[in-house]
């Protein structure tokens, strides 16, 4: 049996290297898509759960309780972690009003002007060419 031609060996190597890189990029994009956001309005907070169209309205003191119990910011928690913490702490979510829905709609419209780094997920200035946190080119 004759040895494989060199260009086939190189192509196989490139494909083997590309697969983990693509997997990592997909993982980062999924993580960014699932990013949770918190909007504060006076004595209560709206928690926009990333990756779904769910919104949780709770009091600011309850947000602080969740953060104290989990030792993480609410923005860094997943939907299941937030719901589990609410269950453990016996926190009931509040009903959304039409004002809340209008605020969420305005936030969604304005979020098009917000840009995130595809490598680390940090907020980036729209005109920036490099991420201020990780230094990657955007």
What digits encode the pLDDT tens for the residues 101-131?
Answer: 888 777 655 555 556 676 666 777 777 788 7
The token pair at 21 is 């890189």
The token pair at 92 is 């009931």
Q: Using the structure block, give the residue that is written with the tokens 């190597």.
A: 13
Mean pLDDT of all residues in 86-91: 93
For residue 25, the SS3 value is: helix
The answer to whether residue 88 scores a pLDDT higher than 90 is yes
- Helix, strand and coil content of the chain, in percent to the nearest 5, comes to 50, 15, 35
Please give the pLDDT value at position 50.
Answer: 67
For residue 41, the SS3 value is: strand
pTM of the model: 0.54
Beta strands in 49-135 (DSSP E): 55-59, 115-116, 123-124
Please give the pLDDT value at position 17.
Answer: 72
Query: What is the spatial distance between Cα 79 and Cα 35, in angstroms, rounded to a whole number?
Result: 10
Mean pLDDT of all residues in 19-33: 69
């Amino acid at each position: 049996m004759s040895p494989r031609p060199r260009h086939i060996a190189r192509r196989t190597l490139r494909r083997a290297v590309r697969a983990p890189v693509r997997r990592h990029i997909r993982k980062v994009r999924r993580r960014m898509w699932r990013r949770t956001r918190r909007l504060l309005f006076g004595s209560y907070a709206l928690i926009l759960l990333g990756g779904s169209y769910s919104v949780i309205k709770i009091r600011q003191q309850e947000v602080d309780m969740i953060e104290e119990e989990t030792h993480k910011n609410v923005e860094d928690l997943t939907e299941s972690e937030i719901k589990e913490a609410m269950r453990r702490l016996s926190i009931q979510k509040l009903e959304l009003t039409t004002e809340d829905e209008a605020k969420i709609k305005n936030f969604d419209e304005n979020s098009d002007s917000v840009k995130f780094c595809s490598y680390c997920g940090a907020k980036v200035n729209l005109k920036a060419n490099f991420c201020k946190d990780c230094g990657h080119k955007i």
